[in-house]
Structure 1
Amino acid sequence: MKVLVTGHRGFIGTVMVPMLLEEGFEVTGLDTDLYRYCTYGDEPLAVPTIAKDVRQVEPRDIEGFDAIVHLAALSNDPLGNINPDLTYDINHRASVRLAEIAKAVGVDRFLFASSCSMYGKAGEDVLDETAEFNPVTPYAKSKVYVERDVSQLADRHFSPVFLRNATAYGVSPRIRFDLVINNLVAWAYTTGKILLKSDGTPWRPLVHIEDITQAVICALRADKPVIHNLAVNVGSNSENYQMRELAQFVKETVPNCEVEYAEDAGPDPRSYKVNFDKIHSVFPDFKTRWTARMGVEQCYESYRRFGLSKDDYEGIRYKRIAHITNLIEQGKLSRDLFWQ
């Protein structure tokens, strides 16, 4: 199967591509590579690449593919502060346009990296795929809009799949330090403090980026009637945690660190628990291999091996908003995030 992975040089994509290749898929990537100067450890694996912003895709770029795995997005809400419409332009409008082109040129499957963050503010309820959306951020709202619009394109020749990923974590050649597990461990390792920005009560469902890839592999291999216009939460019921539980995992893993609450710490409106029964029923082979505690250990071992410092992950190399702002100030990027 010929698969196009958009955003293949990002946080998830750089881990997903080697796993897809190992499973026998023929992979091409499409990426503008905003973070080409931000590699953590080894360089991402090279595959045939279409060097384009997802907003610039043309029909000839995606002809001949059997499936598209669409990861490309602005994944950090503060990036939208550079230009408030960017999140919707890239994450929503460009995604719908990509799906329309894919359908027009005969791509059979369109796998969209959606998000459990669409459920937003939910309190103590455990939410399955039938739950109402209550998105809090522009990022989460953009996912709602894509699912709404792309689902209407489904027909007997075009099958969209909406993989609603839990909060991701894990080590990657294009690592993100703004994700909860990655961030808590980085603070603990470099400062001796486990910094909680909320009061520790909010709930989050967690999933490792390798397990996200396992879900993608299942969706690529499944019979078409199984995945046609399917929306499914990606994660595991046992991997719903309160923030204070995650902080305890970090305290038990990283030597000589203590939990500390930010001065303005309080309840976070983004609190939700998610039910993951459906993915196990539609994909019998799907099984998460990682737990949050294992993810904490992976991050700690990686940071220790890398010799991570606070200046590293707080500097412009790995802090995405600072990196992008710096590229704009240097004239390398436009304010619309196109390479100059």
Structure 2
Amino acid sequence: MRILLTGHEGYVGSALLPLLLTAGHDVIGLDPGWFRDCAFPPGATPPEVPTLRMDVRDVTFEHCAGFDAVVHLAALSNDPLGNLNPSVTYDINYHAAVRLARAAKTAGVPRFLFSSTCSMYGAGSAGWIDEGVSFAPVTPYGESKVLAERRIAALADDEFSPVFLRNTTAYGIAPKLRGDLLVNNLVAFALVAGRINVRGDPDAWRPLTHVSDIARAYAAVLGTRREIWHNRAYHVGVKTENHRLGDIARLIEETVGGRVGFTPDPYGDDQGYRVACDRIAADIPSFRPRWTLAEGVRELTEAYRSERLNLAEFEDRYLRIRRIRRLQADGLLDRRLRPGVVIA
């Protein structure tokens, strides 16, 4: 299968790319290059593929011609980034995503995998949430994904099959690490600074999935007949990997050490929900997550220790918002995240 993979140099993209290549797919990447030097360990060289070095906001149907699938990962991918400039968040995560889907449909691409999020549920509810629950996003990031899903779903027809993969909170080692994700961040600070500062109610639930398992879900969908997942949404995860914030903190404390503390969530989103993952288990039986949170915490701890993690470098290289601000300070990106110069 010939696949256009947007955001292939990001966190999930860097985990998915090797799986697609191993499966024999012909992959073309599309990425502006913001995180090219965010490899973990530093200096590692992930697989190279032919790349369209461009902003997803500039894609046209000509760029989509000749592909069997578009896997759209490129986005401003969390609440802090989304709040940096909300209008840019909507431009990239919503408007550009819809334009890309239209371009893919116009070019005759039959499969469109959209990377969505469980953040669209907002504060959630006391019970289990399935894919049919109403949305209540509380941040520009969550709302941008809701809007994109609705518009892209309306494009579906016999020749164009979108699917919406609502990722739970990712964690774990990938070729392009993210340090701003809950577990990745807490383990790093516990190890280097001796503190485990959790933002949110300790009783609030958080659904978690290892980045490698998220990548496996996308690969599994591509290997499943599109009639099965045509215009459907799936929670990417497994029911047993919903954890309370307090339990996450205690697990890290037991594994790494450190002093646990809790502060209110700054975005008013305690992620107080548990997501059911029965639909993906039923429709995509080849997807079976392999990681547990305990295993992931041990993996992170061992990897950070092996690389003698330095907190200053961790924050500068692996926190996405710090990276974006550095590119802006260096004149490589403007306030709308357009290039000042081309990133080679």
Q: TM-score, normalised by structure 1?
A: 0.95
How many correspondences in the alignment?
338
Secondary structure in 2 aligned to 1:177?
coil
CA deviations on 1:215-251 (whole Å, 9 max, x unpaired) are 1122111112101111111100100000111111111
CA contact (8 A) 1:196 1:265 kept: no
1:183-262 aligned at under 5 Å gives the runs: 183-254=185-256, 256-262=257-263
CA displacement at 1:261 relative to structure 2: 2.9
Question: Partners in 1 of 2:267 and 2:52 — Cα distance?
Answer: 44
Which amino acid letter does the alignment assign opposite residue 309 of structure 1? N
Contact 2:122 2:269 in 1 (8 A): no
Give the superposition deviation at 1:263. 8.3
Percent identity for Structure 1 against Structure 2: 47
2:142 to 108, 124, 140: 140
Secondary structure, aligned partner of 1:5: strand
Which is further off, 325-334 or 99-108?
325-334
Instruction: Determine if contact 1:4/1:27 at 8 Å carries over to the other structure.
Output: yes
Kindly provide the CA deviation profile for residues 44-98 of structure 1, in whole angstroms up to 9, marking residues without a partner as x.
2211111111001122211100001100000133334443301000000000000
SS in 2 for 1:85: helix
CA distance in 1, matches of 2:180, 2:271: 15
Cα distance in structure 2, aligned partners of 1:181 and 1:319:
13
Give the superposition deviation at 1:36. Answer: 2.2
- Between 262-271 and 279-288, the greater mean CA deviation after superposition: 262-271
The runs of 5 or more residues in structure 1 that have no matched partner are: none
Rounded Cα–Cα distance in structure 2 between residues aligned with 1:267 and 1:334: 29
Note closer, same or farther for the CA distance 1:267–1:144 as it changes in structure 2 (3 Å cut). closer
- Structure 2 residue aligned with 1:289: 290
2:169 is matched with which residue?
167
Q: Secondary structure at the match of 1:334?
A: coil
Measure how far apart 1:322 and its partner are: 2.1
Q: Are the structure 2 counterparts of residues 284 and 264 from structure 1 closer, same or farther at C-alpha, using a change threshold of 3 Å?
A: closer
How far the C-alpha of 1:167 sits from its partner, in A, is 0.7
Instruction: State whether residues 203 and 243 of structure 1, in contact with CA within 8 Å, keep that contact through their aligned partners in structure 2.
Output: yes
In the TM superposition, residue 318 of structure 1 has moved relative to its aligned partner by 2.2
In 2, Cα distance between the equivalents of 1:149 and 1:78? 24
After TM superposition, list the pairs within 5 Å mapping 1:1-340 onto structure 2. Answer: 1-41=1-41, 42-254=44-256, 256-262=257-263, 268-314=269-315, 316-340=316-340
Determine helix, strand or coil for the equivalent of 1:12.
helix
Asked if the contact 1:136/1:270 (under 8 Å) is kept, the reply is: no
Displacement of 1:117 after TM fit? 1.3
Residue 335 of structure 2 aligns to a residue whose secondary structure is coil
Cα deviation 1:88-114 (Å, max 9, x = unaligned): 000000000000000001001000011
Per-residue deviation, 1:292? 1.0
- The answer as to whether partners of 2:200 and 2:270 remain within 8 angstroms in 1 is no
Q: Shift in Å at residue 264 of structure 1? A: 8.4
How far apart are the structure 2 equivalents of 1:218 and 1:81?
Answer: 33
Distance 1:36 1:148, change over 3 A: same
RMSD: 1.7
